[in-house]
Structure 1
Amino acid sequence: MTTNTTGATIESAAETVADLCEDRELVVASNRQPYSHNYEGETDDRGAIDVDRPAGGLTAALDPVMQAVEGTWVAWGDGDADREVVGPDDTVAVPPEDPAYDLKRVWLTDEQVEGYYRGYSNQVLWPLCHLDTAKMTPREEFWREYRETNADFADAILDSTDDAGSDPVVWFQDYHLALAPRRVRNARPDAFLAHFWHIPWPSRDVFRACPQYEQLLDGLLANDLVGFHTEDYCRNFLDCVEAATDARVDRASSSVSYRGHRTFVRSFPLGIDASRQADLAESDEADEWWAEFSETHGIDPSDTLAVGVERLDYTKGIEQRLAALERFWADNPERRGEFTYVQKGTESRSGIEAYDRLQDRVAAEIERINDRFGTDDWTPVIYTTDHLPGAAIAALYREADLGLVTPVRDGMNLVAKEYVAAQTRDPGVLVLSELAGATDQLGDGAVLVHPYDTPGFADGIAEALSLSLAERRTRVADLQREVHAKDVYEWLESTFETAAAVERGRRSLRQSRPSPTDD
């Protein structure tokens, strides 16, 4: 029952990007790389080099667009064989079977990985933007490595465009690279710089808990265009700029004039490749995986199934969800034995104390709940941290009567959209946190819950299970229209159409200025 209403395609998105760039090189800069090279064997018995390709998410969506426009992607080379395949300029052409664009790798020392990535990015900016300042660890060495690594990324961008005939178009991704735009702007004043911030932007009182808030804003305001998922995040950003700098904020145009430069701030809700997700859900691989998984875990076709899929991150609300499920089984004993929850967790940022402790708590809570309610032939919570291919995840979504997507804070949350797109057979119900960015787009068709309201959350699960088939079909159809129409390619088109409009304004302004020799 998939609704394939797509407003954009890979081809149209690539055409929009190409129209902006014209004869200028497009450079995408991100922490994560689209391709990595790794040895098949162990370190002491290395075999052939294997290429890990983008399986999903932003890198998978951008890869075909980059192939079409033939630009450069600058990213951290974290594969153990990455150095073996690059040339003297630290660049390798990708994809390997039909090279279309350059991947320029930035090499990080162990100190940079610890300070820039594990430290400042994930122990300062991540908790700050997710409103959990108690987990912030703003160490001096973290900031030093973040600053130096951003300089390395900026220098790699500049090196990759030194031979270009005109100034590049550079698109920065996410919170890892907040400082790099300023260094690029100083070196290439006429470059077009854009930045998309993939996580929430906090209110100004929360943001100022970061000791380096002024420097972060200075870096981001070197861009011509800064994008966020929602209008709320845009307003928060403008509030922060107004409170912390001497910039002139124009609310009517949602722009900032700072250090002789104008930055536009816009919302671009990120989508998924919805058609691909629906195809995965209907694939033979999905059918085969589900048949094996359900048999292994004793899931009967008549059982009611709920699913949660996420990284084991404290922002995802896994502990709060388990508390609500426990309350639901306690309040609804008739559901024991026939209502099963599958939690697919992916271990994340192991070695950081907050994450290690969360992983331990989640495993312990699941064991306790299963001991409390489980029987010889029924396990209430099926828990796996195994790596699952895309078709397996799609099968989980497809078979689930409820998709529980209940973060305590999330910039967007694409799992909600993946679940909707995979509802290709009997329609399930999306149970969605009020605190997810996706609520702006999907809230009307979902059952909304507050993750911290345990009894209300349990009631929301009961409400979702009580919906009639007709109501479920209506809700899923409405949600699928939204998810397919506002997919990742529409996001790309919208971003670059806006960027093109901003660039036209820049050119017009430059042309209207008198030259230094004019009287």
Structure 2
Amino acid sequence: MQPLRTTFAETLGDEHDPTAGKHLVVVSNRQPYRHEFEGDDDEVVVDRPTGGLTAGLDPVMQSAGGTWVAWGDGGADPQVADADDCVAVPPEDPAYTLRRLWLDEETVDGYYYGYSNRGLWPLCHSALTKTRFSQEYWERYRTVNERFADAVAEQCSGDRPWVWFQDYHLALAPRHVRESGNEDAVLAHFWHIPWPGPDVYRSCPQREELLDGLLANDLFGVHIDRYRENFLDCVEEILPTAIVDRQRSVVHYEGGETRVRSFPMGVDADRIASGATSDEASAFWESFAADNRLDGSDRQVVLGVDRLDYAKGILERFDALEHLWANNPEWRGRFTYVQKGSETRTGIRDYREYQSRIGEAVDRLNDRFGTDDWQPVVALTEMLSEPALAGLYRNADVALVSSIRDGMNLVAKEYVAAQVDHDGVLVLSRHAGVHDDPVFAENALTTDPLDTCAFSDTIRTALTLSSADRSRRMRRLRRSVHENDLSAWMDSVFEAMEDIGEHRAGATPSPHSDTDG
């Protein structure tokens, strides 16, 4: 796989690569490589990044060098790490350092399952009835953030190193890094989930401490302008000593300046499109279609691809499908709904119960509407390779993205990227961040998953769109997804970090960098 920073480098030349000559430190909860034991002889094998941010950043790190700091959660991770808890990656051609932190089960329960995913996750998704901010969780979260910060501080070297924090697991770490003596480091943070408005955010007991930690960054990024405005509103209301410059989207606080920017994240569109046309994708689809009586028929396929999370609106989707089949019997047998689901956070009761309810909904719809030659819902839980998933996307006539609240929702963009035949239809929740993109708002079919009747009607509309209308909409979506891909997203973040470094050095900032992304 080629490095993804081609957009910036090809446009401006390699000498303008913003990461050139920088010591880049990426900090995330999830690690890019995991070592596990396999087989009776405990052979050490490597799990590699297969998609999303870790897969996108890995080639950047291979090109730029530097260090990636993450939780070492693989069973064989300690065995391959050196005395400093580091391992060179990729294994076959080491190019950068992976610095691992070791977290015991009790710590993980409080920091990850507890504060991060029973506190911050539901808070940011406006699910206040599911939040639990216990003092024990908070103490674990704070301790782990300090440990991450200590590891980062150890890795900072050179003139103005760049440190890029990822997501809500690490809100306190930037302040600790800043106070550890790394005043010259350029610190950036990307928040991958929604940022709520102050009416929701004020429900967090540690609201001041979290904002204090994040405002130690020079750059704070979110997906869309709405979340950026929410963040500024929260700072203005909750931190009386902070000065918010709305015109420049900058916060002055504790002697520092934080630029707050929106960077809508993309996907590796070329890689997904290539996967969709691969032999592996074709072979998977042929087998899957044959197993589920989809080959050789004019029966359409409607697809949902989700982590089984309450924020994704999966049960609301089943309600809409049930309404459609119950009130429009002529649609029974004319399409099959495929739910590709991935279990997540099963250590949290809310998730276990939600996933159980999804299984019950699948059984209910199949029992109520199924016939000898038609199964209304196919639940696909097995892990799929990237090409196999791309093949599933490509062959789905309709994709349903029914988020109740979502930071961006990259499934919508992955589906579009795989639609190389331009004949699919995207049904998109207005509550997903990607819907704020005018191209998606205009060319997907918008729905509100909480309005069952309207959602049902939108699915029926998607199934009956003309081929010309499908092609017109999908071509526009695909053009946008390829122009605003994962590489372009990373370029925009790195350009903003470069501008901050130049500003500190007294150089003239580049004209394209101090923008909203």
- Compute the TM-score of the two structures, normalised by the length of structure 2: 0.94
Residue 459 (structure 1) aligned to one of 457, 460, 478: 457
Distance in 2, matches of 1:19 and 1:172, equals 20
Q: Say whether residues 1:86 and 2:81 are aligned partners.
A: yes
- Once the two structures are superposed, residues 174-232 of structure 1 have per-residue CA deviations (whole angstroms, 9 ceiling, x without a partner) of 00000000000112111110000000000001001010000000000000000000000
Partner of 1:172: 165
Please say which of residues 9-18 and 481-490 is displaced more in the overlay: 9-18
Please list every run of 5 or more consecutive structure 1 residues that lacks an aligned counterpart in the other structure.
1-5, 511-519
Indicate if the aligned counterparts of 1:85 and 1:92 stay in contact, CA closer than 8 A. Answer: yes
Residue 175 (structure 2) aligned to one of 159, 164, 182: 182
Indicate if the aligned counterparts of 2:186 and 2:500 stay in contact, CA closer than 8 A. Answer: no
Q: Secondary structure of the residue that 2:340 maps to in structure 1?
A: strand
The residue correspondences of 1:133-282 to structure 2 (distance < 5 A) are: 133-161=128-156, 164-187=157-180, 188-245=182-239, 246-282=241-277
Residue 69 (structure 2) aligned to one of 64, 74, 93: 74
Change (3 A) 1:18 1:104: farther
Q: Say whether residues 1:355 and 2:348 are aligned partners.
A: no
Partner of 2:500: 502
The residue correspondences of 1:100-499 to structure 2 (distance < 5 A) are: 100-161=95-156, 164-187=157-180, 188-245=182-239, 246-300=241-295, 301-425=297-421, 427-441=423-437, 442-499=440-497
Q: Secondary structure of the residue that 2:25 maps to in structure 1?
A: strand
Distance in 2, matches of 1:366 and 1:221, equals 45
- Once the two structures are superposed, residues 112-168 of structure 1 have per-residue CA deviations (whole angstroms, 9 ceiling, x without a partner) of 10000010000000000000011001111100000000000000111122xx23332
Give the partner amino acid of 2:446: L
CA RMSD of aligned residues (A): 1.8
Partner of 1:3: none
Distance in 2, matches of 1:303 and 1:32, equals 40
Indicate if the aligned counterparts of 1:13 and 1:493 stay in contact, CA closer than 8 A. Answer: no
Please say which of residues 113-122 and 439-448 is displaced more in the overlay: 439-448
Change (3 A) 1:133 1:460: same
Change (3 A) 1:343 1:14: farther
Change (3 A) 1:349 1:12: farther
Indicate if the aligned counterparts of 2:9 and 2:17 stay in contact, CA closer than 8 A. Answer: no
Give the partner amino acid of 2:213: G
Partner of 1:515: none
Higher RCO, 1 or 2 (CA under 8 Å, sep at least 6)?
1
Give the partner amino acid of 1:396: L
- Once the two structures are superposed, residues 335-390 of structure 1 have per-residue CA deviations (whole angstroms, 9 ceiling, x without a partner) of 11121100011010012110000011000011011111110110000012111111
Note the C-alpha offset of 1:9.
4.0
Distance in 1, matches of 2:49 and 2:365, equals 36
Give the partner amino acid of 1:352: I
Note the C-alpha offset of 1:395.
1.3
Give the partner amino acid of 2:318: L
Note the C-alpha offset of 1:410.
0.3
Distance in 2, matches of 1:17 and 1:445, equals 38
Indicate if the aligned counterparts of 1:17 and 1:496 stay in contact, CA closer than 8 A. Answer: no
Change (3 A) 1:383 1:13: farther
Q: Secondary structure of the residue that 1:118 maps to in structure 2?
A: helix
Distance in 2, matches of 1:7 and 1:466, equals 40
Give the partner amino acid of 2:347: G
Identity %: 54
Give the partner amino acid of 1:348: T
Change (3 A) 1:445 1:486: same
Please say which of residues 60-69 and 165-174 is displaced more in the overlay: 165-174
Superposed structure 1 runs of 4+ greater than 3 Å apart: 6-24
